[in-house]
Homo-oligomer: A and B are copies of this chain.
Amino acid sequence: MGFWKSLFSNSDTVAGSRGGRGSAIAKDPRSSDPRANDTRIVFSTEREIDLYELEELCDAVGWARRPLRKVRKALQHSFLVVSMWEQRGVRRRLIGFARATSDHAFNATIWDVVVHPSYQSQGLGKALMQYTIKKLRSEDISNITLFADPHVVDFYRRLGFILDPEGIKGMFWYPD
């Protein structure tokens, strides 16, 4: 129900991207739904996501589990929460996620970008990021930042992200 609300009030169907209508799904070995041609990739900015479904997605890429209480708080206080769904007829599955913190004025920082392994390498990560950037830009955020794991620096570079522009360096502080 939360989902339908999101689908109609807060979502967009991706069109024209690689891995859009059908293509991501035709490859899915679990596809036995006669209505498979109905399959669409849908984006949503609704933040009321089933946290167990999100945990499953993060598990699938091997991320460490995080307390759901804290995940809920983080989603509530993110500026933007983007989820990507495979929609077949009335069924839907969470296949991608990203979120951003922001000061609502100058800058945003994107965190937790993930595409389910069964749906990777089909252009969906790119579509997810392009959707996220478009949403941030529509809020007049001009400085979009992130911290990239070494193996995905090139993924972000292809999307137009610049590494250490003018020597600006990402730094982290951890408790002792």
- Chain A residues proximal to chain B, CB less than 8 Å: 66, 70-71, 73-79, 99, 101-107, 109, 111, 133, 137, 142-150, 153, 156-157, 159-175
Contacts and interface: CB of A to CB of B under 8 A. Distances in A.
Among A70, A79, A101, A175, the most chain B Cβ lie within 10 Å of the Cβ of: A101
Contacts of A107: 101, 109, 111
Contact of A103 (B73, B147, B169, B171): B73
A150 B168 contact: yes
A162 B171 contact: yes
Contacts of A164: 169-171
A139 to B, nearest CB: 11
20 contacts: A66-B106, A74-B103, A74-B106, A75-B103, A101-B101, A101-B103, A101-B107, A137-B175, A143-B172, A143-B174, A144-B172, A144-B173, A144-B174, A145-B170, A146-B171, A149-B168, A153-B169, A162-B174, A169-B170, A170-B171
A150 to B, nearest CB: 3
Nearest to A150: B167
A5 B52 CA distance: 44
